[in-house]
Amino acid sequence: MHKLILTALAVNIAVATNTNAMTIKPDPQNPTGYIVSGTELTSAENRLTIDPMYDVWAKALETRSNDIVEAIVPNRAGNPVNVKRVERVFPQSQWDFLTAMAAPEYTYTRFLRAIGKFPAFCGDYTDGRDADKICEKSIVTAFAHFAQETGGHIAKDNVSDNPQGLEEWQQALVHVREMGWSEGQPGYTTGCGQNDWQNQRWPCAQGQGYFGRGAKQLSYHFNYGAFSEVMYDGDATVLLNNPGLVADSWLNLASAVWFFLTPQAPKPAMLHVIDRTWAPSQRELAAGIGYGFGTTINVINGGIECGEQNKNKGQPVNRIRYWEGLANHYNIPIEADEENTCWQQMPYGSLNLDGATDVLFTNWDGNWTYHADRPGGFSFECKLVGYQTAYSALKAGDYNKCVTNYYGSHIGWPEVRVVPHIEPPVDIPPVDGVAAWNVNKVYLKGEQVSHEKAIYEAKWWTKGNIPERNKGPWKFIKAIP
């Protein structure tokens, strides 16, 4: 059963040269804080996410309003384009064929609504790719994983438990809640109540359980919170307060579609493995990771199911059997460069990406590099990282939130406020014979500089520290009229 688990935070402190100038000034509203330019932060964010794949990822996560989604029913003339495609390539009869053993909470209408929420699933392509074929392959791939995650796993010849003689790949979506759990049971609350970024953004509700629910068995409060933000216009509290909706509404299938479309950097989105929007990096190819169903296993649960040590393990063996049975039934071709297995792949969690320049990350974290020319040596920037944080490079505004929230939340780090624009400082040296401060010059105790229409005197040896009133190595002498 797949769970999204956070990896440990790795902290690297380095010394950086200032290749990208920033205008940083003391905050007139906060004696211990600073202001930075929103224009400059936007430029920094754009520079770090210049690769066009960031736009592709963000586009894939766009959603329709729930009012539109909840009007979707089979064969409705006004259904969205991608829903009509699904009705054409995977009609109600095929849903019934694969869900004869399914829980009643899973219905074809809810399946269509889950897809309707995300225009990119079974969406159009403008570059010649066959959207109908990609749609069918996406659905069949999803059902292969459903059969493992929530399937019956009953042998075809077990007539007492499987009187219809269903293939195991026809036994998807049997469970809507994790076995052994029911509503009203608090559970999966590890970490709840701690004073960390996860709980600040996605606080657990009293008495709620965040055990597995839905087609992909969504688990843990940070996943319920993140999914709730996508479903309810940024409101994490809806599903944190009422996680049962992921079992009892169309969200039981929408949670799986969301997972299907969401990259967990450095893992690609499953859709982009299937439709080949993703191109494996040299590190991934060297680790045996390329196209095919096997890579979708690595995306879902590679740490437990991929690698040669897991070649004969039950979970991946089942997934592959289900995929091959479904692919054969639906005549889905296996391309020459595709592998159904992942035993020959290194799990993503074990992939060494140090120094890799062709792997993209999707989360923001504080940039710990030391900048001698900035107050306190802090960078006042964020960086892209390959582990989950509260800030996504695929969400507008999250870079600014990372800078303001991350810095203010760390002991000893300065508080930061973003303003739309800051005019860069203008000095008029020399003033009274005092030259302007030079970031590259060493100043000894007693030496004076002019900076931003004021004169300062060094209290001790200093280099690269911006002169500021009553802070650090500088003593304020007088303002310049």
Q: Which region holds residue 464: left if phi is over 0, alpha if psi is between -120 and 50, else beta?
A: left
Closest by alpha carbon to 364, among 333, 385, 338?
385
- Say whether 474 sits in a helix, a strand or coil: strand
Cα 355 from chain centroid?
Answer: 21
Q: Which two tokens stand for residue 244?
A: 């049962």
Tell me what percent of the chain is helix, strand and coil, each rounded to the nearest 5. 35, 10, 55
- 293, 320 Cβ separation under 8 angstroms: yes
Q: Cβ atoms within 10 A of the Cβ of 430, count?
A: 11
Report the distance separating Cα 419 and Cα 409, nearest Å. Answer: 19
- 273, 295 Cβ separation under 8 angstroms: yes
- Rg (the chain; Cα; Å): 27
Report the distance separating Cα 389 and Cα 391, nearest Å. Answer: 5
Residue 45: partners with Cβ closer than 8 Å, 6 or more residues away: 393, 399
Closest by alpha carbon to 291, among 134, 136, 148?
134
Q: Three-state SS string across 435-462, please? A: CECCCCCCECCCCEEECCCEEEEECCCE
Q: Is 457 a catalytic residue?
A: no
Catalytic one of 40, 45, 149, 381 = 149
Would you list the DSSP string of 337-382? TB-S--TTSPPGGG---TT-SS----EEEE---EETTSGGG----E
Residue 368: partners with Cβ closer than 8 Å, 6 or more residues away: 11, 12, 13, 14, 379
- Say whether 141 sits in a helix, a strand or coil: helix
Q: Cβ atoms within 10 A of the Cβ of 173, count?
A: 26
Q: Which two tokens stand for residue 276?
A: 């080949």
Q: 238 φ, ψ to 5°? A: -60, -55
What positions carry a catalytic annotation? 149
